[in-house]
Amino acid sequence: MAHGSTRPTSRDVAQAAGVSQAAVSLVLGDKWRGRVSAPTAQRVREAAHELGYRPNLAARNLRLGRTRTVLLVVPALTTEFFAEVYTGAARVAAQHGFGVVLYPSPEGVGPARDPFASAQAALDGIIASSMAADALTAIRGDHLPLVMLDSDPEGSHGATTVNLDIADGIRQVTDHLLTLGHRRFLHLAADIPSWTFDVRARALATRLTATPGTDLRTVSAPISIDAARTATEAALTAPGPRPTALVCDDDKLAAGAYKAARRAGLRIPDDLSVTGLDDLGLATAIDPELTTVRLDAEAFGERGMRALLAVLEGQAPEKGDLPVNLVVRGSTAPPR
């Protein structure tokens, strides 16, 4: 609402066009065929444009009982991953006349603030990343249609789940490293309780226990370059035979590992092969470029939004995980 004069309503438009408010609603709602004559409709449209009329969305939402607005709950936007998820979701949403409101759960841990209080919006549904699960207690109160991203299909209390095939990505990474001849593995795990990271650990362990003669150690750190560096440095300087392959839960952790390797005097990939997961811009910014698993974040967001739209229309969402694929770059090589 402007400061000085109040903004025009459909009634003002009606008066300007010399028709009733109902006629304005019909015309602007594109439901006028057979109810209003073409010249009248044109007059209404002109009057609306003349006055700079914009429908009051609060009133429309109240009347219709739905908002065509969806909430996307993500962890803090510290990488571009969820920004791309948002882009994909918003694109599909726009095609269906929906809007997407982004709710990045506050950086710090602890139970998130009420997303509804923050994103003052009235909502039709929610898409939430499992990494922002602490926000979900507040969410589950309202039992809005809910789509969970990268979440345990079993433990999601009936919410629809949309997943990337992360396990397959880790299998591809592991096979790549095994084929190169690596046997001693270190897993740099993300120190965040989330199904999506459990999957990584499980897939890696499964593959390696099935391969005789291999060895796996694990170290974990919060997802930050500094924390990853510290944790990796400790692991690399620990007693015992040094691992030759370092599998990181994501690209950011890998970037931290690069710095640890450098400090420890190890060259990548000659002394240590490193892999990431995500394929962020960061992956090609560091030297050598990172061998990693490409996740199509936009497609992920699109799929999530399509699933939610399906739920809203009472249809069945698409099944199956989204494929991922290994991108081999310069950070992996046969062990010396």
Q: Over the chain, what HEC string results?
A: CCCCCCCCCHHHHHHHHCCCHHHHHHHHCCCCCCCCCHHHHHHHHHHHHHHCCCCCHHHHHHHHCCCCEEEEEECCCCCCHHHHHHHHHHHHHHHCCCEEEEEECCCCCCCCCCHHHHCCCCCCEEEEEHHHHHHHHHHHHCCCCEEEECCCCCCCCCCEEECECHHHHHHHHHHHHHHHCCCEEEEEEECCCCHHHHHHHHHHHHHHHCCCCCEEEEEEECCCHHHHHHHHHHHHCCCCCCCCEEEECCHHHHHHHHHHHHHCCCCCCCCCEEECCECCCHHHHCCCCCEEEECCHHHHHHHHHHHHHHHHCCCCCCCCCECCEEECCCCCCCCC
Q: Is 66 in the site for DNA (CB under 7 A)?
A: no
Which residue number, 10 or 291, has a Cβ lying nearer to DNA? 10
The single residue among 25, 161, 172, 273 that binds DNA, judged by CB under 7 A, is 25
Q: How far is the CB of 31 from a second copy (least distance, A)?
A: 18
* Contact code string over 218-247 relative to a second copy, x by CB under 8 A: -------x----------------------
Which residue number, 94 or 285, has a Cβ lying nearer to DNA? 94
The single residue among 46, 49, 50, 59 that binds DNA, judged by CB under 7 A, is 59
The single residue among 20, 78, 209, 237 that binds a second copy, judged by CB under 8 A, is 78
Which entry of a second copy, DNA, none binds 263, CB below 5 to 8 A by partner kind? Answer: none
Instruction: Kindly list the residues in this chain that would bind DNA in the complex (CB under 7 A).
Output: 6, 9-11, 18-23, 25-26, 28-29, 31, 34-37, 39-40, 53, 55-56, 59-60, 62-65
Tell me which residues touch a second copy (CB under 8 A).
Answer: 1-3, 7, 52, 54, 56-59, 61-62, 65-69, 76-80, 83, 86-87, 90, 93-94, 98-102, 104, 106-107, 113, 116-122, 124, 141-145, 225, 252, 255, 258-259, 262, 281-282, 284-287
